Amino acid sequence: MLHDPLTGLPGHALLLDRLEQSLIRARTRGTLVTLVLVTAPDSLLEAARVLRAGLRPDFTVARYHETVLAVLAEHDFGDGSPISALIRQLVGESPQIHWVTSDGDTAPDDVIATAENR
């Protein structure tokens, strides 16, 4: 499913495609990709709304799993800590947030697995 019917956000399949494309751009342009997973069991719709409204338009906010949202961001330098901090500011303290940054030399499945296990 390309778009999630509950949130209206890109769904799992579209997120994977965008992640793969972002990793290719990172490899070829020398940029970075940060994937942030946000577990929001009590307020998924509110978290989706707040993230979509509060993040840059070129960031992808997607529904990754039933209660997990994903944010995919491409950037020129640094790591994912400023992006993670902004997401924490937007969604509050209760959701769990896990993130990983890649230079594009990692397979999409490995990027996701690393973020899930942090």
Start-to-end CA span in the chain (Å): 27
d(CA 110, CA 69): 18
What is the amino acid identity at position 66? E
Given the candidates 3.30.70.270, 3.90.1070.10, 3.40.50.2000, 3.40.50.720, the CATH classification of the domain at 12-116 is: 3.30.70.270
Look at residue 112 in the predicted model and tell me its pLDDT: 95
- Whether the pLDDT of residue 83 is over 90: the answer is yes
- Per-residue model confidence as pLDDT tens digits over 13-29: 999 999 999 999 999 99
The full set of domain ranges for the chain reads 12-116
Look at residue 40 in the predicted model and tell me its pLDDT: 80
What is the amino acid identity at position 41? P
d(CA 27, CA 50): 31
pTM value is 0.94
Return the structure tokens found at 5.
């019917």
